[in-house]
Amino acid sequence: MCGIAGFMSVDPAGTPTEAIVAMLEAMQATMIHRGPDGAGHKVGPGVGLGFRRLAIRDLDGGQQPMVSGDGQVWSVMNGELYNYAELRRRLEAAGIRLQGHCDAEVIPHLYQELGLDEMLRLLRGMFALAIYDARTDTLHVARDPFGIKPLYVAEATAGFFFASEAHALAAAGVSTQVDPVSLWHYLTFQYVPGPRTMWAGIRQVEPGTCLSWRRGAGEVSRYARLTFTPEADWTPERSAAAVRVALQDSVAAHLVSDVPVGAYLSGGIDSSAVVALMKQHQEVNTFSIGFDGATPERDELPRARRTAAALGSRHHEQYVTARDYADHWEDIVLAQGDPVADPSAPALYFLASEARRHVKVVLSGEGSDELFCGYAIYQEPVSLEAFDRIPPGLARQLHRLASRLPDGLRGKSLLQRGTTPLPQRFVGNAHIFRDAEKAAWIADGALAELPPPSWSLTAPIYEETDHLPGPTRMQAVDLNFWLPGDILQKADKMSMAHSLEQRVPYLDPVVWEVARQIPVSLQLAQGSFKRVLRDAVADLLPDEITHQPKLGFPVPLRQWLASDLKPLAQDLVASSTDTLLNRARVQSLLAGPRPFPADDRKLWTILTYLMWHRVFVEQTARGQSRHSVMERAAALSSR
C-alpha cells in the first residue's frame, strides 16, 4: 500500500532530470499520509516514477519502484494483490527469480511475460499501478475493476502526470481551475462522477481501465467490465452455498499481512459476516462508531456491542460529536481531495483514527449492498409496476400535473416517481438536486450554457442493461457510479488520512463471479434485502443480526446543522470567494427553515463544496493550505 506519482514529458530531452525529481518530491510530499514508512523514485530521460510506502507486507524489503531483471520495465503500485503467492509460483516456474516477498515485485515481470491486458486480468486485488516500458518508451497506468484504489491523471504542455490523489498533481504545477460542469453534476450526485474531477484539468482513470501514454499521444482501453449476467437456474440453496464458499475464500485471502488486521463492525449483516469469517482464522479487533444526538433506533453502538460479544472480538468504540465534525472539517475535506458530500465520510475519518491506534489494516463491508441488493430503493421498480402500464403520453401529463402540486402533499412524490422513466428517476443512491432545479443554484454567467442533464451520464448503463430487470439495472448504475464515486472514495481517503489500509473482501473477483449470476428474484425474495447473503451466513450469526434493518452510519445531520456546525457553516458561506454558486440562494437555504430532510442534504452538499473551495482554492491562493493530515501521518510513522 502506498501513494504513487509519476511524470512523462512530451520530449525525452525536454525536462531535466533534476526538474523531474523536484516534481516527484513535490507530489510525494502531499501524500505522506498514504505512505509514512518510506519513499523512493526512479528517473530516466523525460520520465519518472515515485511512491510513498505504507509497509504492510515484506516489511524489510518491498521498496518501490520495482524494476525487471533486464532493467527495461519499471513499476509502482498502490494496493494489495491477494493472489501474490500464486503469481510468484507462476513466475518461478518460468525461471524468474524474485528478490523479495513484496506483491508489487511481480508486476514488471508479469508484464514482460504476458503483456499488459493479460497481466491486469490475472491480478486479484485492489490496485492502481503504473508501468514504464523503456523498450517502447511508453507509460501505462491502470486501475482495478471495481475502482477500489484511486488514480488521477493530467495532460499539460510539459507532459503527462499521474498520482494517487488529485491535489498531488496540483503540487506538480497542474492547473487547478474549478470545472463548472463538474460542479453541475456534483450537485446531483454529491460527488463528481468519473472521469471528471472538480478540477478542469485533472481526470480520474476509470475502474477496469488502462491509459497508455507515449510522448504526447494517449490511448484509453478497458480491460475489464463488470456486467450482471443473472442465470435462471440458480436456486436459493445453490446461491447461498456458492456465496458462502466465495466469501470464505475472499476473507481468508484478505487476511494475508505482516501487520495486525482488524475490522469495522456496525452490527449489520455485511460487517458482521466478515468478522465471523475472520474469527475462523484469528482473533479480531473490531471498531464501531456512535454519534452525539442519535436517537436510540438510529444508534449503531448498542447492536455493535452485542454483535462483538456474540462473535468474541476485542471491541473498540469511537464516539463523535458535532463539535468534532466542526473542529476537523477542513482536515477531512483536505484528505478527500475531491469533494464527497456523504455525511458518513467524516464518520469514517474518526473511525479510521481509532482503528489506527490498534491495527494497520482493517476489513470492511463495502460493496455488499451493490452486489447483493442491499438498498431499499432497489424494491422501487416492483412497487411502481402499475405505472408501467400507463400509456407514455398520459404518463407525461400526470407528471406535469404532479409537478404543480404543493411540496409535501401526500402522494406527490409517488406520482412524480411513477411517471418518470427509470433512467431519469435513478442515477444512484444519492440524488440531491434535480436537474430541473439546479440552474437556480448556479450564479448568473457561471455557465456559458447548461450542461446536459446528469441522468445522461448513467444512460449508457441503462442502454447496456435494457434486457435486465429494473432492480438489476439499478445495481449496475450503482456499481459503476455510486460505488467508485462515493463509497470507495470515502473509504480510501478517510482510511489513508490516518495511514490505515482498508480492504473490502466483498469486492473480490471470486465473490463477484457468484453474485453477478444470482437473479434479483432471489436477492429480494420475500420482501427482504440481501436474502441470499443472509441465508449464506445465517449459521454464523445470531438471528438478531441477520434480520435487523440497515442503518449505515446514521449521522444526526439535521441536529448538528442547527447547533455546533451552524456558526462554521454561516462563516463558510459568508466568507467564500466562490463565484459559481448563487450566493443569495445558498444564504436563504442556510438561514431559513428546512422542513424536509432533503433540504439538509442539499445544504450539506453545498457546504462541502464551499469547504473544498476554501481548502484547495482560497487557502492555496493565500499560501495557507493546511497540512494537519500529513503531520498526523508523520507522527504515526515515528511511533
Q: How far apart are CA 606 and CA 611, in angstroms?
A: 9
Amino acid at 281: H
Q: How far apart are CA 286 and CA 279, in angstroms?
A: 11
Please choose, from the candidates 511, 9, 453, the residue with its C-alpha nearest in 3D space to the C-alpha of residue 270. Answer: 511
Distances (CA, A) of 101 to 82, 85, 217, 250, 435: 13, 9, 35, 21, 52
d(CA 576, CA 580): 11
Rounded distance, CA 256 to CA 243, Å?
A: 21
Residue with cell 451520464: 457
Q: How far apart are CA 5 and CA 422, in angstroms?
A: 40
Q: How far is CA 85 from CA 29, 101, 261, 484, in A?
A: 32, 9, 19, 28
- The continuous run of DSSP H or E covering 353 comes out as helix 344-356
In whole angstroms, what is the distance from residue 76 CA to residue 27 CA?
14
* Eight-state DSSP code of residue 447: -
Pairing of strands 159-163, 2-9: antiparallel
Q: Per the omega criterion (within 30 degrees of 0), is the bond before 195 cis? A: yes
- Among the listed residues 2, 102, 210, 373, the single catalytic one is 2
Q: What 3-state class would DSSP assign to 316?
A: strand
What long-range pairs does 84-89 form, CB within 8 A, spacing at least 24? 84/57, 84/256, 87/122, 87/123
The string of DSSP codes covering 469-527 is -HHHHHHHHIIIIIIIIIIHHHHHHHHHTTT-EEE-TTSSHHHHHHHTTS-HHHHTGGG
| d(C-alpha 285, C-alpha 308), whole Å | 9
Cβ 136 vs Cβ 194: under 8 Å: no
Is 373 a residue of the active site?
A: no
Q: Which of 128, 136, 93 is nearest to 107 (CA)?
A: 128
Cell (9 digits) for 258: 505482516
**Spatial contact of 78 and 4, defined as CB atoms under 8 Å apart:** yes
Q: Name the grid cell of 20.
A: 523531474
What Å distances lie between residue 622 and 469, 581, 617, CA to CA?
A: 53, 21, 9
Give the N- to C-terminal CA distance of the chain in Å, as an integer.
Answer: 19
Catalytic residue list: 2
